[in-house]
Amino acid sequence: MSTFQPLLPHDLLWGLSAAALPIDAPAWAFEAVGLGHPVVVRRARVAAGLVAVGVRGQSRDQRYATHMKLEDVQRRVRPEALIAMTPHADWPALRALQQIRPVMNALGLPWGVAGGAGFELASGVPVLHADSDLDLILRTPDLLDRQHAARLIDQLAGAVCRIDLQLQTPFGAVALREWAGSSRQVLLKAEDGARLVDNPWLAQAAAA
């Protein structure tokens, strides 16, 4: 697969074969990959020519971290490609997506669907249930001030299910709820691990 854009966390990839999994991978991971389910790009440093991915099973505790060769990637779906899809199911998370679409579009920033909702919309594999959250990402190359973050929390509060939104900064990801809160430091999830930072948009946050 030719990738003109770099692979980013939360992208869904097809092409990992069961034979490429480590021999000690759980049985459910072999089953999921064998069924042709996509894997999700995760944050981790890997060798050149590889991408860190996670295999998703049917239950919340079934998550397996591994990697795949870039040359094996046959298809990629980004979270942004899922925001306008018409769902075939009627779970609260998918109804919430319809509700909050105008709010998110009004931000003027790229955003997308991740987590179980993104996985189900992209693959057609049913993983959602009545208590599933709606996981979103918002790409924020520049600082989103805390007051703006708090207003966005308020705007999303009326949705029919809980919404977990991650701000994707140039140096990692931070939860919108944390950034909108009162704590001086917030948890930044970066490629080389997670750390507490004052400002997730500063380069030193990633190098600390």
H or E segment to which residue 112 belongs:
strand 111-114
DSSP state for residue 30 in the 8-state scheme: H
> Which is the catalytic residue, given 24, 61, 135, 198?
135
Given the residues 11, 90, 131, 133, select the one marked as catalytic.
133
Give the HSE-up count for residue 15: Cα atoms under 13 Å, Cβ half-sphere.
Answer: 18
Which residue in 155, 62, 159 sits closest to 103, CA to CA? 155
Provide the 3-class DSSP secondary structure of residue 97: helix
Q: How far apart are CA 84 and CA 90, in angstroms?
A: 15
Kindly give the residue spans of alpha helices, DSSP state H, lying in the chain: 27-34, 92-105, 115-123, 146-156, 176-179, 203-207
> 72 catalytic, yes or no?
no
**Closest-CA residue to 175 (of 187, 184, 159, 185):** 187
- DSSP code string of 153-184: HHHHTTSSS-EEEEEEETTEEEEHHHHTSS-S
For the annotated catalytic residues, the residue numbers are 133, 135
